[in-house]
Amino acid sequence: MNWNAWMPPLMIASSLLPGLIIFGLTEERVRLRTVLNLSGALVKLVLVGFVLWGVSQGQQYETRLALLPGLELVLRAGPLSLLFVSLSAVLWLVTTVYAIGYLEHSPHRSRFFGFFSLCVTATVGVALSGNLITFLLFYELLTLATYPLVVHRGTEAARHAGLIYLRYTITGGALLLVATVWLYTLTGTLEFTPQGFLDSLGAEHHTALIIIFTLLIAGFGVKAALVPLHGWLPQAMVAPAPVSALLHAVAVVKAGAFGIVRVVYDVFGVEFAANLGVLAPLAWLAAITIIYGSLRALFQDDLKRRLAFSTISQVSYIVLGTAIAGPVAAIGGVVHLVHQGLMKITLFFCAGNLAETLGIHKISEMNGVGRRMPWTMAAFTIGAFGMIGAPPVAGFVTKWYLGLGALQAGQEWVIIVLAGSSLLNAAYFLPILHRAWFQEPPSTWPKEFDFGRKETAWMLLLPPVITALMALAAGLLATSTFSPLEWAQFIAEHEFSRP
Amino acid sequence: MSAEIYAILLSIVMVIAVAWPLLLAIPALHSRLYWPRHLAIVPVALLAVLPGNVSLQLPWLLFGTGFTIDDATRWVLAMSVVIWFTAATMITSSKQGFANGRSTTFFLLTLAGNLGAVLANDLVGFFCFTTIMSYGFYALFVQNGNAETQRAGRLYLIFLIIADLLLFEALLLAAFTTDNLRFEGVREAMAKASSSQFYLWVTFIGFALKTGIWPAHLWLSSAFKSTNQATALLIIGVPVVMGWLGAVRWLPLGEHAFGISAMIIQMIGVIGVLYATLKLCTPTSVKIVWMSSGAASLFIAALGTGLAHPTIWRQYEYLGYPFIASLGILLALLIVTIGWTQKTRHQHPAVALPRVEILNRWIGATRQWGEDTLLGLQSLWHVSWLKVVKHYQYSSHWQKLQDFVAGWNATITLFVLLGLALAWLAA
Amino acid sequence: MGAVFTEFPWGVILILLPVTGGMLCFLWPQIAKITGLFIVFAVALLVVGLAWQIFDNGVYRHAVGGWGAPLGVDLYADGLSLLMLAITALVGIGISVYSATYFKHEQAVLFWPLWLFLLAALNALFLSADIFNIYVTFELMGLAAVALVALAGSREALGAAMRYLLAALLGSLAYLLGVALLYHGFGTVDIALLAERAEPSPIIWAALGLMGAGLLLKTALFPLHFWLPPAHASAPTPVSALLSALVVKASFYILLRLWLEIFGPLVGGAGVEQLLGLLGAAAILWGSVQALRQTRLKLLIAYSTVAQVGYLFLAFPLVAATGVSAWSAVTYLVLSHALAKAAMFMAAGNLLCFGGHDRIADLDRVVQRLPLTAGAFALAGVSIMGLPPSGGFIGKWLLLEAALMQGRWDLVVVMILGGLLAAGYIFKVLGYAFTQADVSHESKAVPASMEWAALLLAVAAILLGFLAVPVLSLVSIGDPFGIGEVRP
């Protein structure tokens, strides 16, 4: 029996099954639910670790299931997939711990954790997809699984936000569907192949391919929040903090960005796409998004909204790295998938902590909060510096490779965009830090909860501290074995031929 | 003891010298120790006095950085130790509230960054540690300050961010040009690269902003005015001197004659020196700012000379680090002296230097900056120095300048002369 | 043993058993529920037996009483019939389980015989090999269905039933006229023989016009859908599910058969397909927009049926040119829509039973209070919207593929728009399911079997998305679409 074929489905099942069981649990069964959640997350982590090791040893992990005559569901654990899978697995564990702490005593937890697990399942599925239709399948599943999380609070605002979220994502999904079917009618295959599978098509199809590319990018761009398709993201902030964290760091936004990476590298192929002339507009779109997101972030007083606009900006780094069409920039883009995840999840955890501990939602209320919650704000500081791209936090590594890649590809304008983005990032993060650390705290906080001598509950505090340390380590130990950077280089070598 | 074992030991001390303050920066640790600031300096002091040169590569750190201690580095290191020790003592002995735990954390972070930057032997390491240092210093600087300090801090932060961006571009350029990012490698590669002019300017402006030469001195004047003595001392020891050090390390000195660019840099330096000298004569100015700015300009003039004439630089290269170190020490001494005189004069804690004009508080930063820049531009346009002198004459400061030069502090004049001599050595 | 299975006249029993059951229920109302449930499960087993037979022997053909065509009554079952029988049995089980707790007292007494007659009619219809026989079953089905609609007893239900009756009679009449024409013209009513003998002639056109109009009326294709929304919305829930899931499909099945065997080869390319496609497209848009505008849940679902029927007709123009996957798409859409729509109506019925109303805006946190029902509605909705993974997605994929292969961008746009609008009305409901309504209301308990019946059918619609390969190979038994294989 070939165990390797079982690994991808097992990775998916490790969150799917606990999720399905949790749906059936009553609200009171807190302990069982916690055990299920955590054991699922741990099992997934172990599986991912095992597969990571296997892939680095040259093992193949692939599962195929006939979906339609001539079309198969393919789950394959390639290097790029594993980067995303390991990110989801690690952050799922952390976020689960956080969510357990965050939602203590709040209603509907079974439903929440059920969909939460489904969401991760879909993300892992997106990551493991070996062809476009499998990708599409999990991508839509992700849309469906996140919707209940967005409207979880059940308020009118939540319903409204959910509606807007769906309007964007379902439309994006529809475009994606058309593009996928069209591609299939042209080529008869949808298998992700390094260097793409389209260069055999004749020149008469090039117009069609350009339109398909546009449709695909538009479809994925909705979730990746490319301007002007970003409108849903700030709205979706009504969701509880763990959801925002997961949405921004791992699941939805990343799935979109990951889709773009897949399309450029494994469907079209970098060279072919560059010859087609579609990468330059994509790079410009990404650049515009980077600057626009940062500019909008500057003017937000609501902390979570500011972070949301920051996400819009940061996720486009990935797209930019992909669109620059050079191997070094590719490393930058791919590695930012992980780096942005680590940093942004930290920031959202911290924002959640502030809201849950002191009732702070606005930046103007954050005066002196560093004295009251030093650990939280220390984690926040690391995350913020990472976003700015200051060494030695992970963001620096990304910026380094993006800049270097841009120079190598002869696209110097990217450097200016990066510099502008850093400047704007500094402009909207440093005032927060200044406020938090160096302003006098007010006599009373908006809504303080009592946690005794500790600054907040340990389940809320531990996750951001851990992710902050990981972000720090990813930058500080960038060249050590099994760092995200090393893995990204491994991907660049394996999936894209390095000149 | 064999040489190898000694080298290993020295490497260990070197790593500890940087890691130890970082470790102590954890509040839970330093709050349980007596004299944590002094304790943190112990390994580096040891490193400064131990003889021998050693270089250590840490391939797993960042993109593969490393530390080196050699004779040249030791000068700067020794200066840093002295300045940090003095500052630590001042803070510990002061009875004011700024010796709290958070301040200790920031102090130690800045210290670690500073030492790391001094010891780092490649661009990335230097960049990384100066970043830690700069933001740590910002925190240390503003954390107990008044509105004026915060304003100065904000200005510093803006200059810092812009400088870091520029230096990052320089860094990318260097990494694009060469795989070897150690200082010597970059120096060689960048001298030959086609982008060397661009690299030169980006690096120069970056470090010039960090050292606070005219016209980026603004934050310095606010800072010195409003902060306490220990922090004032650290301003010299941390951003200013590190800016100089960075410039010497990053710029492709002694490899390539840069011609017109070097001339312009020289000019900037000389103008800075002159301008600072003139400013020193106005009674309303904060003396230490202009001393510092003057010293920085002096240094830049020397730098320009080095860029223009590689042979001269190579000839006098060995003087570079001692020069930096002595400038730093002298400025530090000045601060201590001024602080001491004021303390004895006013019997007043040395928090604020003399209450300079109240008007200054009224005019905002932009206005002051505009004014200063205008003056500077004027002097640029009217290359005839006579006119500048006349300007000051008409504004009735001439007499005071004379008084000042004659009576107040002769060392300044000496410094200016020394700088001028160095700057025009080649010409 | 094997021989017994392969020789057994499963098809005949499939028709006789529900008829007998219906009689029993009619005569002894006290055992109606038990009998009904038993019969429905037995029918499902019979379908399994028939499937076995077809797998072994290929196409099933049985001459009842030893008389064959052209005089006698032939039963005929290929892959398509088998699939329709199977889906009828499956949905039938779900509906029966649901009805077992839904109907009380007098209603139950009336429901079970009618339902079993309807089941018999459906089975007979799917097994018929001649157009007159089809007419008989068709009429029986229509009458049973009308009676079932009237079962609700309310004023609006009776009105709707009347309208439905009118439509059904009109439709059957038109169909019967067509049959008469064909018989007059070619001297047989057997489909296979007709296919051999028929040739392009005014008779064919007239027959096509009459039969087509009658069947379109009963299939409720836009603009002949006027009777459907009120009938489906006001009928008792299991009946709504039955009508939407099965009855509408039955008339579509006849149309499909006639088109494939008789009319398609004769009048193909003359614009009839284009007309049907156009009407289908209009149905999708009109039905979806109407659904989006509804404030009552059951009406919304009924209009959704109008829209979904439109998808089935989109296949006609697509097949006309090359005929690759469009018929497979239709099969798949029929199957998944049957499951999903039944589940959806049952979920709506649960909500109606729970809150005593079906105003969408006042659904009042049903996600918490009836999680299974909300889940059923959501899963069924996924299939209706055509989102993966679901049967609806597979159908839509195949249809899109066919459209794109022929460059029919107009149809692609319609399909995508239809999907988006469907998402709009499904999530309109789901959105309100999370929020608290302005007016809180008394809620009644919903029996677990009703919730589970809805959920399981919805899950089946989702699972159908993973069964495309076996289902499509099943449907190609006997080559009902005349394309050799399902896909090249």
Are A249 and A160 a contacting pair, CB within 8 Å?
Answer: no
- Residues on chain A touching B142 (C-beta within 8 angstroms): 434, 438
- pLDDT, residue C66, reads 63
Residue spans of the domains in chain B: they are 3-423
Listed residue (C293, C276, C161, C288) closest to C224, CA to CA: C276
Q: What are phi and psi of A194, to 5 degrees?
A: -55, 140
Residue C441 in any domain: the answer is yes
First-to-last C-alpha distance (Å) of chain A? 39
| SS3 state at B122 | strand
Higher pLDDT, A466 or C225: A466
Q: What is the DSSP string of A69-112?
A: TTEEEEEE--HHHHHHHHHHHHHHHHHHHHHHHHTTT-S-HHHH
C-alpha atoms less than 13 angstroms from C-alpha of A306 in its C-beta half-sphere: 23
Residues 6+ apart with CB under 8 A from C7: none
Q: Do C416 and A177 touch (CB under 8 A)?
A: yes
Q: Do chains C and B touch (3 or more CB pairs under 8 A)?
A: no
| SS3 state at A341 | helix
- Tally Cβ neighbours within 10 Å of residue C420: 17
Q: Is C293 exposed, middle or buried (0-12, 13-18, 19+ CB in 10 A)?
A: exposed
Q: What is the CA radius of gyration of chain A?
A: 21
User: What is the tens place of the pLDDT at every residue in A139-190?
Assistant: 999 998 898 888 888 888 888 888 899 989 999 999 999 999 999 988 888 8
Listed residue (B255, B257, B261) closest to B300, CA to CA: B261
Mean pLDDT of B114-131: 90
Are B294 and B248 a contacting pair, CB within 8 Å?
Answer: no
Q: Do B62 and A423 touch (CB under 8 A)?
A: no
Q: Do A438 and B59 touch (CB under 8 A)?
A: no
- pLDDT, residue A138, reads 92
pLDDT value at C318 more than 90: no
The residue range of the domain holding C385 is 269-488
Q: Do C368 and A162 touch (CB under 8 A)?
A: no
Kindly identify which residue of chain B lies nearest to residue A419, measuring between CA atoms.
B165
Confidence class for position A318, pLDDT limits 50, 70, 90: very high
The whole-angstrom separation of Cα C123 and Cα A51 is: 52
Q: Do A400 and B165 touch (CB under 8 A)?
A: no
Listed residue (C335, C366, C346, C354) closest to C98, CA to CA: C346
pLDDT value at C64 more than 80: no
The whole-angstrom separation of Cα B10 and Cα B53 is: 8
The whole-angstrom separation of Cα A414 and Cα A404 is: 10
- pLDDT, residue A283, reads 92
pLDDT value at C222 more than 90: no
- Three-state SS letters, C67-127: CCCCCCCEEEECHHHHHHHHHHHHHHHHHHHHHHHHCCHHHHHHHHHHHHHHHHHHHHHHH
The whole-angstrom separation of Cα A158 and Cα A247 is: 15
The whole-angstrom separation of Cα B51 and Cα C438 is: 82
Q: Which two tokens stand for residue C456?
A: 């399981």
Q: Which two tokens stand for residue A67?
A: 């979906």
- pLDDT, residue A134, reads 92
Q: Which two tokens stand for residue C40?
A: 């429905």
For residue A111, give the nearest of C371, C396, C400 by CB distance: C371
Closest Cα in chain A, distance from residue B18 (Å)? 15
- pLDDT, residue C281, reads 92
Residues 6+ apart with CB under 8 A from C431: A151, A159, A162, A163
Q: Do A419 and B168 touch (CB under 8 A)?
A: yes
- Tally Cβ neighbours within 10 Å of residue A205: 14
pLDDT value at B424 more than 70: no
Q: What are phi and psi of A444, to 5 degrees?
A: -130, 150
The whole-angstrom separation of Cα C237 and Cα A235 is: 38
- pLDDT, residue A387, reads 92
Q: Is B316 exposed, middle or buried (0-12, 13-18, 19+ CB in 10 A)?
A: middle
Q: Do A480 and B175 touch (CB under 8 A)?
A: no
- pLDDT, residue B401, reads 54
The whole-angstrom separation of Cα A194 and Cα A494 is: 8
Residue C73 in any domain: the answer is no
Q: What are phi and psi of B160, to 5 degrees?
A: -60, -45
Across-strand partners of B68?
B55
Confidence class for position B383, pLDDT limits 50, 70, 90: very low
- Residues on chain A touching C423 (C-beta within 8 angstroms): 166, 170
The whole-angstrom separation of Cα A156 and Cα B282 is: 66
Q: Which of B116-125, B189-198, C396-405, C445-454 has the lowest mean pLDDT?
A: B189-198
pLDDT value at B96 more than 60: no
The 8 Å CB, 24+ separation contacts for A92-95 are: A92/A15, A92/A41, A92/A44, A92/A120, A92/A246, A92/A250, A93/A38, A93/A41, A93/A42, A93/A44, A93/A45, A94/A345, A94/A463, A94/A466, A94/A467, A95/A242, A95/A245, A95/A246, A95/A250, A95/A345, A95/A463
Listed residue (C118, C130, C155) closest to C243, CA to CA: C118
- Residues on chain A touching C416 (C-beta within 8 angstroms): 174-175, 177-178
- pLDDT, residue B375, reads 55
> Count of domains in chain C?
1
Q: What is the mean pLDDT of chain C?
A: 85
Listed residue (A81, A279, A77, A72) closest to A191, CA to CA: A72
Higher pLDDT, A113 or A247: A113
Are A69 and C483 a contacting pair, CB within 8 Å?
Answer: no
Q: What is the mean pLDDT of chain B?
A: 76
DSSP B70: -
Residue C456 in any domain: the answer is yes
Confidence class for position B284, pLDDT limits 50, 70, 90: low
Confidence class for position A478, pLDDT limits 50, 70, 90: confident
Q: What is the mean pLDDT of chain A?
A: 88
Q: What are phi and psi of C114, to 5 degrees?
A: -60, -45
Closest Cα in chain A, distance from residue B4 (Å)? 26
Q: Which of A448-452, B183-187, C136-140, C321-325 has the lowest mean pLDDT?
A: C321-325
User: What is the tens place of the pLDDT at every residue in A245-265?
Assistant: 888 778 889 999 999 999 998
Q: Which two tokens stand for residue A101?
A: 């702490």
Q: What are phi and psi of C398, to 5 degrees?
A: -65, -40
Across-strand partners of C128?
C75
Q: Is A480 exposed, middle or buried (0-12, 13-18, 19+ CB in 10 A)?
A: middle
Residue C303 in any domain: the answer is yes
C-alpha atoms less than 13 angstroms from C-alpha of B196 in its C-beta half-sphere: 20
Mean pLDDT of C115-140: 89
Please tell me the total number of residues recorded for chain B in this structure: 427
Q: Which two tokens stand for residue A456?
A: 């907040």
Establish if B101 touches chain A: CB-CB under 8 angstroms.
no
Mean pLDDT of B336-349: 62
Q: Do C487 and A70 touch (CB under 8 A)?
A: yes
Which residue numbers of A have CB closer than 8 Å to C's CBs? Answer: 23, 65-70, 107-108, 111, 133, 136-137, 140-141, 143-144, 147-148, 151-152, 154-156, 158-159, 162-163, 166, 170-171, 173-175, 177-178, 181-182, 184-185
Higher pLDDT, A20 or B93: A20
Listed residue (B135, B149, B133) closest to B98, CA to CA: B149
Q: What is the DSSP string of A109-160?
A: HHHHHHHHHHHHHHHHHHHHB-BHHHHHHHHHHHHHHHHHHHTTT--HHHHH
Are A357 and A373 a contacting pair, CB within 8 Å?
Answer: yes
Q: Which two tokens stand for residue C10?
A: 């499963």
pLDDT value at C488 more than 60: no
- pLDDT, residue B382, reads 41
Beta strand C60-63 with C74-77 is antiparallel
List chains touching C (3+ CB pairs under 8 A). Answer: A
Residue reference for tokens 């301008």? B275
Higher pLDDT, C264 or A80: A80
- pLDDT, residue B422, reads 67
Residue reference for tokens 């069947």? C215
- pLDDT, residue B73, reads 85
Beta strand B54-58 with A71-76 is unpaired
- Enumerate residues 162 to 181 of chain B having a beta carbon within 8 A of any beta carbon in chain A: 162, 164-165, 168-169, 171-173, 175-176
User: What percent of chain C lies above the pLDDT cut of 90?
Assistant: 26
- pLDDT, residue A217, reads 93
CA dihedral C262, C267, C269, C275 (to 10 degrees): -90
- Tally Cβ neighbours within 10 Å of residue C176: 19
CA-CA-CA-CA torsion sign (A140, A145, A148, A152): negative
pLDDT value at B387 more than 50: no
User: What is the tens place of the pLDDT at every residue in B214-270?
Assistant: 666 777 777 777 777 778 888 888 888 888 888 888 888 877 777 788 888 888 888
- pLDDT, residue C484, reads 43
User: What percent of chain C lies above the pLDDT cut of 70?
Assistant: 92
Q: Do A68 and C431 touch (CB under 8 A)?
A: no
Q: For testing the chain C interface, which of A149, A170, A184 should be mutated: the one with the most C CBs within 10 Å?
A: A170
ipTM of predicted complex: 0.88
pLDDT value at A1 more than 70: no
pLDDT value at C212 more than 50: yes
- pLDDT, residue C185, reads 86
Confidence class for position B326, pLDDT limits 50, 70, 90: confident
- pLDDT, residue A247, reads 80
- Residues on chain A touching C475 (C-beta within 8 angstroms): none
User: What is the tens place of the pLDDT at every residue in A320-365?
Assistant: 999 987 888 888 999 999 999 999 999 999 999 998 888 888 888 8
Residue reference for tokens 């936000």? A161
- Enumerate residues 286 to 305 of chain C having a beta carbon within 8 A of any beta carbon in chain A: none
